[in-house]
Amino acid sequence: MNKELKQVISEIKKEEIPVELKISNRPDLCDYQYDGIFGLAKEMHKNPYELGIEIVNKLEENPTCKEKFSKIECVRPGFINFTLKDSYINELLSKMITEEKYNISMPKQETIVIDYGGANIAKPLHVGHLRPAIVGESIKRILKYMGQNVISDVHLGDYGLQMGQVIYGLQQENISPKEITLEKLATLYPKISGLCKEDETIKGICENITKELQDGKQEYQEYFKEILNISKQDIKKMYDYLGVHFDLWLGESDAYKYIPELTEELKKQNLIETSEGAKVIHVTSETDSLEIPPLIYQKSNGGYLYGTTDLATIYQREIDYKPNKIFYIADKRQNLHFTQVFRVAKKLEKTKEIDCEFLGNGTINGKDGKPFKTRAGDTPKLENLFNEIKDIFLKDELHNENYTEEDLDKIVNSVIKFADLQNSREKEYIFDIEKFSKTTGKTGPYILYTYVRTKKIIKNNEQYIDKLSKTIYNVHDRELRMKLLGLEEALNMAFKTRMSSGLANFLYEICVLVNAFYENNHINNLEDNKKKTDWVTLLDLTTRIIKDLLDLLVIEIPSKM
Ligand code: ARG
C-alpha cells in the first residue's frame, strides 16, 4: 500500500527512507494514515502541512494511486489520510480468496529449531507447565505457516538432581525398576526433595547418585529407563490433550554423548578455566551493565549441569540440523541461564553462526495475583483444572446443547489457550476461570461461537459462494472487509515478534466485526442475489481466516456451540 508514497517521498527528499503507512484508528475518517511528516518536515526545515500538501499533490498525479484510492488528503497539522476505493478493496480480497495462503508475502525461509514444553521427568505436571507448552506450540505453528523449516523438540528435563532424588527414594523403599508406578513417582519427588532441603547428607547422596547415573552406572541406568518411560507416557498424554506435538522427544540425557567432543572444542579454544575446583566459562562482555557470572560447565565432583546440557544440545543440533536459529520458550526467570549459554555458543567456532533467542514467558496467576491455585487452594493438577473449567462452562446460561466429551475438551482447550495467548507472552496474567469460560467477551468460547454460527449461515447458502463484485454495501460490511485486509500485517508481525498475542487480538476483532455484520445484515431472507453472493462469499473468506487463526492459536473447533 505504501509503495507510491515511498516513491514520492524519496523524490522530494532525494534519498530513500523507510515509509510506514498505518491502519487508521478512525475508520470513519480514513483507512490508512501516514504520520511521518513531522519528522520529515523538521529535517527538511519545512512546514509540515505544506510538505503534506506537496506530497498529496504528487500522489494525486500517480496513476496507481488513482486506481487504489478514492481520497488522499492532508489534514492539519500534518497527517496524510488515505481512503481506499471499494473496488480496490474487493480486488485485494479476491486475491486473498483465490491465492494460496491469502496471498500474503512470506519471509525468507530458514531452518529453526524450537525448544519448548520442557517438562521434567519424575516431577508431577501442573499449571506452571501449561504456558511454555501452549506459547511454544503456537509460535511453532506460526513459524511453519510463514514457510519456515521448523524442528520442534520437547527437551525434557531428565538428567538433573531430581533423578538422583527419585532413585534414592525408590531404593530406600526397596522398589525395583519394574515396580515403579506413576503414583509412586508423584509422591516420592516432593518427599525426597523436601528431605534434601533439611539434610545435607541426603542431598550429598542424591547428588552422587545423579553423578553416577550421568557416568552411566548400570544399576541407576535401569531405574532411569523405567522412570523415563513411565513419566514420558504421562507427559505425552497431557501434551496430546493440549494439541501440543513435537518432532523430537529428546532430553538433557541425550546431550551427554556430545559432552566429550564439546569439551575438546572448548579446550582447543582455551575457553575453560578452573575456579574453586569447578570448570567454568567466562561470558562477560565490556558492554554489560550488570555482571554476568560465568557458566559453570562442570562441578568439582565431576557432575555436569543444566548449562552444560543446553550447550551440548546446541552442539548436537548443529550437527543434526545446521539450524539458522534456535528459539527457546521457558519461564522468563531463566533469562540469565540462557544468556550464559548463548554467549558461550557464540564463542564456539562450531556453533557461533547460530542465532539463539530466548522467548521468556510470565507466570499464570490467580485472581489474587499469586501463582494460580484451585478453589481448594492447592496448585491444581491439570486434570482437575480441566474438569473445573468444564463445570463452569456448562453453567453458562448461553449454552444449551448436549456436548460430547470431545467437544467439551475442545472448549476447555479454547478457554485456556485464548486466555493465555491474548496476553503478551512475557507478561504475567490473571487466569480468571469464570471470565474466560463465558461465551461473551474476549474468550475462546466467544470465538468458537462466532465461527460455528457464521459457518451455519454459509452452510445454508453454500450455492452463493462465488466471486466478489466491486460493491461494498454498508459500514459494517466495509469494516469487516478492511479488517480482513489486515491479515498480512498481523501474520508478519506475529512472525517478527514471535508473539501470538497480536494474532489473538486480531482474531477477536474479526469476530466482533463479523457479529456486528451478522446482526445488521440479514442474509438468509435476502432477495438481492448479487448482494447475497457478495456477503456469503465474504463470510466464507472470513471463516476460512478464523479457522486458520484458531489453528495457529492451537484451538480446535467443536461440532457445535
Ligand atoms: N526443564 C526446564 C524447566 O523445567 C525447561 C527446559 C527449557 N529448555 C531448555 N533447553 N533449557 O525449567
Per the CATH hierarchy, to which homologous superfamily does domain 85-115+391-415+433-561 belong? Isoleucyl-tRNA Synthetase; Domain 1 (1.10.730.10)
**CB of 414 closer than 6 A to ligand 1?**
no
Q: How far is the CA of 340 from the centre of ligand 1 (A)?
A: 14
Give the helix/strand (H/E) hosting 393. Answer: helix 382-395
Q: Cα of 491 to ligand 1 centre, how many Å?
A: 28
Q: Assess whether the C-beta atom of 361 lies below 6 angstroms from ligand 1.
A: no
H or E, element range at 80: strand 79-84
Residue of minimum CA distance from atom 3 in ligand 1: 118
Predicted pLDDT at 367: 85
Does residue 252 line the site of ligand 1, with CB under 6 A? no
Query: Containing H/E element for 69?
Result: strand 69-75
- Per-residue confidence (pLDDT) for residue 550, from 0 to 100: 98
The atom of ligand 1 lying closest to the CA of 156 is 1
> 324 is written with which cell numbers?
539458522
Q: What is the pLDDT of residue 399?
A: 66
Closest CA to 97 of 511, 544, 547, 503: 544
- Map out the domains of the chain as residue ranges: 2-84, 85-115+391-415+433-561, 161-242, 251-365
370 φ, ψ (degrees, to nearest 5) = -100, 160
Ligand 1 close to Cβ of residue 155 (< 6 A): yes
Distance CA(368)–CA(141), nearest Å, equals: 33
Q: What is the mean pLDDT of each run of 10 residues along the chain (561 residues)?
A: 87 88 86 92 93 94 92 94 96 97 97 96 83 96 98 96 96 96 91 95 96 95 97 94 97 96 97 96 93 95 93 98 98 96 98 98 88 68 88 79 91 96 93 91 97 96 97 95 96 97 98 96 93 98 98 96 87
513-520 own/partner pairs: CB under 8 Å, 24+ apart: 513/476, 513/479, 513/480, 513/483, 514/450, 514/454, 514/480, 514/539, 514/542, 514/546, 515/450, 516/476, 516/479, 516/480, 517/476, 517/477, 517/479, 517/480, 518/453, 518/454, 518/457, 520/474, 520/476
Q: Is the CB of 330 under 6 A from ligand 1?
A: yes
Domain at 251-365: CATH architecture: 3-Layer(aba) Sandwich (3.40)
Chain position carrying cell 461494498: 472
Ligand 1 centroid – CA 95 distance (Å): 43
CATH of the structural domain 2-84, one choice from 3.30.70.20, 3.40.630.10, 1.10.10.60, 3.30.1360.70: 3.30.1360.70
Q: What is the pTM of this model?
A: 0.94
What is the distance in A from the centroid of ligand 1 to the CA of 337? 10
DSSP readout, 293-360?
PPEEEE-TTS-B-HHHHHHHHHHHHHHHH--SEEEEEEEGGGHHHHHHHHHHHHHSTTTTT-EEEEEE
Ligand 1 neighbour 250 (Cβ under 6 A): no
Q: How far is the CA of 157 from the centre of ligand 1 (A)?
A: 6
